[in-house]
């Protein structure tokens, strides 16, 4: 799984060194500290959204958070599969939308799950669409998708979308979507000034989901985040099939070359555990 991010992180590292020279890693370190300080404040009313557009922030996020997000996606898909007792999808083609997908971490975890023969999935192709407010992630997300080593044929499109923009959100049609992924996005939205408009827009979008479509929700286990999600999915026919809040403490894989260099400079490894909850939801 880490291989999908290694070459992309190495490319970001090279671009950063070209842009900032010897100051590059210091800027990444500062960006990581800023992210670590920002995440505990996500419930503060009226706060400004986190800005991921700067290259040092993207480098910090790719190193510290992209791999865990992929691993959590895989882990919870596996758990939901085990709880339900049969494959999660009807193959061979899968259309997926990820809201707030950033660098396409969830696609890496999804591909890992689909490619594991023990789960009995028959999906051969994935059409993956990311809707994210930060358009600067597009190039990185596309590169991550290209670096996934899988038998699954993947096509990816990245669309910039501010979920508070009702005019643009109204044009989002999910009527042919098989799976919606919501990974660590409710925490980013729940305290924004525009949260009511965002909630109404998400309800409208989710109402276009077809019968039989699924939703994967992964989030930090904070009641504010869960409550906001419950409001966003207040749509007829969306029924929870499984809820998993069991402990998550995954093993960090052997770090590749660029990851090792970042670990040495930043003094921390990607964190593979957390107080996390996941819900598997079906549209009746």
Transcribe 112-134 into DSSP letters: HHHT-GGG-----EEEEEEEES-
Structure-token match 């109204």, residue found:
170
> Cβ atoms within 10 A of the Cβ of 270, count?
21
| Predicted confidence (pLDDT) per residue in 156-176, tens digit | 999 999 999 999 999 999 999
CA atoms within 13 A on the CB side of 244: 23
Q: 55: Cβ–Cβ under 8 A, 6 or more apart, which residues?
A: 12, 15, 16, 19
Give 140's pLDDT tier (boundaries 50, 70, 90).
Answer: very high
State how far the Cα of 178 lies from the Cα of 97, in Å rounded to an integer. 8
What is the model's pLDDT at position 101? 83
pLDDT tier, 190 (very low <50, low <70, confident <90, very high otherwise): very high
For the record, the structure tokens of 262 come out as 């970042």
Prior bond of 178 cis (ω within 30°) = no
Q: What is the pLDDT of residue 130?
A: 96
- Strands (E) located in the chain: 93-99, 125-132, 153-160, 179-183, 214-220, 238-244, 248-249, 273-274, 276-283
Does 56 score more than 90 pLDDT? yes
CA torsion sign for 219, 128, 95, 202 is positive
Write the pLDDT tens digit of every residue in 6-40: 999 999 999 999 999 999 999 999 999 999 999 99
Task: Please tell me whether residue 89 adopts helix, strand or coil conformation.
Answer: coil
For residues 272 and 251, give the distance between their C-alpha atoms in angstroms, rounded to a whole number.
7
Q: What is the pTM for the complete model shown? A: 0.97
């Amino acid at each position: 799984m880490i291989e999908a991010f290694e070459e992309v992180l190495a490319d970001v590292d090279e671009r950063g060194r070209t842009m900032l020279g010897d100051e590059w890693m210091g800027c990444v370190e500062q960006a990581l500290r800023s992210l670590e300080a920002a995440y505990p404040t996500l419930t503060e009313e009226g706060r400004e959204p986190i800005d991921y557009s700067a290259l040092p922030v993207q480098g910090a996020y790719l190193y510290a958070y992209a791999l865990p997000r992929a691993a959590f996606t895989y882990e919870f898909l596996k758990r939901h599969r085990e709880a339900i007792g049969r494959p999660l999808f009807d193959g061979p083609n899968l259309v997926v939308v990820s809201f707030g997908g950033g660098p396409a971490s969830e696609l890496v975890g999804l591909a890992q799950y689909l490619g594991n023969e023990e789960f009995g999935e028959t999906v051969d192709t994935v059409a993956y669409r990311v809707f994210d407010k930060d358009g600067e992630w597009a190039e990185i997300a596309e590169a991550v998708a290209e670096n996934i080593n899988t038998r699954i044929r993947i096509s990816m499109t990245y669309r910039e979308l501010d979920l508070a923009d009702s005019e643009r959100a109204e044009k989002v049609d999910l009527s042919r979507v098989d799976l919606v992924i919501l990974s660590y996005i409710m925490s980013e939205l729940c305290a924004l000034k525009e949260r009511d408009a965002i909630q109404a827009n998400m309800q409208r979008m989710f109402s276009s989901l077809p019968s039989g479509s699924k939703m994967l929700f992964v989030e930090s286990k904070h009641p504010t985040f869960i409550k906001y999600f419950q409001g966003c999915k207040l749509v007829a026919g969306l029924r929870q099939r499984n809820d998993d809040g069991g402990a998550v403490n995954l093993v960090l894989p052997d770090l590749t070359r660029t990851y090792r260099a970042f670990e040495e400079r930043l003094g921390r490894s990607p964190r593979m555990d957390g107080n996390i909850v996941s819900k598997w939801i079906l549209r009746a």
